[in-house]
Chains A and B, each alone.
Chain A
Amino acid sequence: MTLVDFTSLMVSALLLAGIYAVMSVGMTVIYGVMKIVNLAHAGFMMLGAYLALELFERFQIDPILAAFLTFPVMFLLGGAVHWVLVRRLPHADEPTLPSLLLMFGLWLVLQNLGYLIWGNTDRSIFTPRTLSVVNVGPIAISTLRLVVFIAALVCLGLLEAWLHYTWFGRSVRALIQNRYAALITGVHEDRTAGIAFGLGIGFAGLAGGLLGSLYSFDPDFGRAFLIRAFVIIVLGGLDSISGVAIGALVLALVETFSIIFVPAGYQLAISFALLALVLIVLPGGIASLLAKARRLA
């Protein structure tokens, strides 16, 4: 492999990692605070993609801006879903069957709602940016992927800042770290969980909007990403935001570079092999490794 090939693959992996990170972070926030595995994540991503499409087609809003505009809408939708359904689930320190069933059922409802509103047609967002390429020396980089990557970095940066520098953000982190200690210090669990759920759904919608610029989609959109999001959050540590970024990078690197050595048909198998390996060797994910390193330092 030449240096150019290697650099091209590295750039592809980095761009892919950005996409993977932004689609997984919402799931992590929800799991961290409520210990709910959001199986409806793909459904909310699909809604985000269609919302971005509607904004693009009806109001000629740039698809990337449209993806950002879906965030507040999806945040409110997430808050409503929490208030109507999720808060009625029994509190637990680990995922429960009722929560899994509720979220799976919600996914099916969203999917069918999608079919009802938008039909089964494949939709896509096509702009002059879709096929344009930036040439950096001999390496061609998709402009759209680059824009989506930057947007993903901005999102993760904003989330990280929100979690560290706002009262609500700190209460979310407190609930993620130790629910009982957080309650003792006066964190309002229901309100914080509602906001965290809204945030998770908001990020799912935003990710859907961004991915909708890259891929064609239908109401079944998101299934392939959901599986990868699972792998990433287990890799990163189920409730760690920074772990998600690292997990996304690891998965993207492994998927991209493993293709050199094994046929592309085994790409998903490699992801699952990685998942199994992490569960055996590093059950706490990369976040536990980082925490250990910090303690030692």
Chain B
Amino acid sequence: MPGTHRVRQMWISAVAVALVVSFSLSCSRNKAAESSIKVGVVLPITGREAKPGQYQREGIDLAIRQINQDGGVMVKELGQKLPIQEVFYDDSSDQAKSASLAERAMSSDGVIAVLGAYSTALGEAESVMPDRYQTPWISTGAAATTIFNHGYQYTFGTLSPTNLLGSTTAEYLGSLVDQGKLKKGLKIAMTLENTDHGVDYGRGIKQWIQDHPGYFNVVFSENFDLGSPDFSGLLQKVKGARADIFLADAHLQDYITMHRQYLQSGLAHQMISYGARGPEADARKAMGDGVDYIFAGIWWSKNLPYPQVKKFNEDYKAFAGHEPDSWYPAPAYDAVRALATAIESAGTLNKTAIRDALKNVDLKDSLLPGQELKFGANGQINTPFVIVENKPGGKVDIVYPKDAATGESIAPIPKH
């Protein structure tokens, strides 16, 4: 029996040694495997959001390429610079897929952070994952405040809140009243997409009007479904409201469909806006000079008079083969830079440490209006919007704020 006992003890010892050896081997293998920093990118490059998703991906890819060309990101704990390795996922503009891909990236693909989420709807779907898997998530294309007001700790966003877009839009219109270009007391008709983005936009406008009595009255406000093939009934109601200003909040496809029908219905207003849409090249291709004088509140413009923007425009064109179309690539580009700064400042690839560092990131040479990128207490940035206006001949000018303006506002829209 003692012999049997000794054999059992030997077996137990052998198994224990094997476990210890294999554990230490796996640890050393993991250390050795840290030859790059894996970052997940979940964006739609197919489906209805494909175009903005593709532009955002180009912004992210450009930033990663530039960082890697400079040797990568310094990770103090490892005593070396590591390149960023992008793990890309196409969510096909599908909410469920977006959430499951973000989950996959965070739970099983070993990324240290996830970037992306273009559009509020897709961002909302993903936003529950970061805290669950304690992985920093930087949304580059979702701006609705609902995403950032849940008290999540790992959620960040490089787009200012949509209600600020609404209030900036109203503020711009108010400035036109102050300049005498528009009369006081004009009536506004609003059509808003049926999402939190639309709700926030409308709320921002109404709040500004409430805070500045006498400037404008909202006489019509209604929501519409994304991707509707026909807006004739809705536009008929807009016509019936006999408003002076038409403000909509729409995605690119809906903007094109709605504005085509707007023009075909013979509607005319003193000012027209589709929220953050307006200067896109696709819209001009689809409607020609029908998009002239539309103004948009956007998170970024390639015409911003900052040297870093000029350099970005050149680099982006060389990288993507085309100029930046609207605002899409810049917040994505800066999101990668903010993440890289946070990793360097954390000095480790520990996700919670990176999260803590992100909270203190302060990019002083940001591409975004104001040139400074800092995340607020809720994880969202609060940079100002710029208002751009389409001019005849395909020109797009920044018209507000004044210190960034590249041209004068044309208001009201000239009658044909």
- A interface residue numbers (CB < 8 A to B): 1, 5, 8-9, 12, 16, 115, 120-122, 124, 126, 130-131, 133, 135, 140, 142, 144-145, 214-216, 218-220, 223-225, 228, 255-260, 263-265, 267-268
Mark out the residues of chain B between 65 and 107 whose CB falls within 8 Å of any chain A CB in the assembled complex: 93
What range describes how many residues of B lie at the interface?
35 or more
Would you call B222 and A264 a contact (CB within 8 A)? yes
Is A255 within 8 A of B51, CB to CB? no
Contacting residues, chain B, for A265 (C-beta < 8 A): 194, 222-225
Residues of B within 8 A of A (CB): 45-48, 50-51, 54, 93, 191, 194, 222-225, 227-234, 236-237, 239-240, 252-253, 256-257, 260-261, 263-266, 282, 285-288, 290
Distance between A192 CB and nearest chain B CB, rounded to angstroms = 33
What's the Cα separation between A120 and B54 when bound, in Å? 9
Known A12-B232, A135-B266; contact A214-B224, beta-carbon cutoff 8 A: no
Most buried by B among A131, A255, A268: A131
CA distance A261 to B194 in the complex (A): 17
Say whether A1 contacts B287, CB under 8 Å: no
Per the bound structure, the CA–CA distance linking A8 and B232 in Å amounts to 9
Contacts of A126 in B (CB 8 A): 285-288
Interface secondary structure of B, over-half rule? helix
User: Is B233 touching A140 in the complex (CB atoms < 8 A)?
Assistant: no
A263 with B286: in contact, given A122-B252, A133-B266, A220-B46 (CB under 8 Å)? no
Q: How long is the Cα–Cα vector from A9 to B263 in the complex, in angstroms?
A: 16
A122 and B45 alpha carbons, distance in the complex (Å): 12
Given A145-B264, A265-B223, also A216-B286 (CB < 8 A): yes
Beyond A12-B230, A256-B232, A260-B237: 9 further Cβ-contacts under 8 Å?
Answer: A12-B233, A16-B230, A120-B46, A122-B252, A133-B264, A142-B265, A145-B264, A215-B257, A256-B230
**B290-A131 in contact (CB<8A):** yes
Instruction: Looking at the assembled complex, report how far the CB atom of B126 sits from the nearest CB atom of chain A, in whole angstroms.
Output: 20
Partner of B260, one of A121, A130, A259: A130
Chain B contacts for A5, CB-based, 8 A: 236, 239-240
> For the complex, what is the distance from the CA of A292 to the CA of B173, rounded to whole Å?
60
Q: Which residues of B contact A268 (CB under 8 A)?
A: 225, 228
A121 to B225, CA, bound (A): 22
Complexed CA–CA distance, A131 and B234 (Å): 18
CA distance A256 to B233 in the complex (A): 5
Q: Which of A120, A216, A225, A264 contacts B45 (CB 8 A)?
A: A120
Given A16-B230, A120-B50, A260-B237, verify A216-B264 contact (CB < 8 Å): no
Q: Indicate if the CB atoms of A259 and B237 lie closer than 8 Å.
A: yes
Q: Chain A residues near B252 (CB, 8 Å)?
A: 122
Can you spell out 17 A-B residue pairs with CB atoms less than 8 angstroms apart? A120-B46, A120-B51, A121-B51, A126-B285, A131-B260, A131-B264, A142-B264, A214-B260, A215-B260, A218-B50, A218-B51, A220-B48, A258-B233, A259-B234, A259-B236, A264-B225, A264-B237
* Structural contact, A220 and B47, CB atoms closer than 8 A: yes
Bound-state CA distance A181–B127 (Å) is 59
Nearest chain B residue, comparing its CB with the CB of A120: B50
**Chain B residue at smallest Cβ distance from A15:** B232
**Distance between B323 CB and nearest chain A CB, rounded to angstroms:** 15
Cα A257 to Cα B232 in complex, Å, equals: 10
Which residue of chain A has its CB nearest to the CB of B229? A224
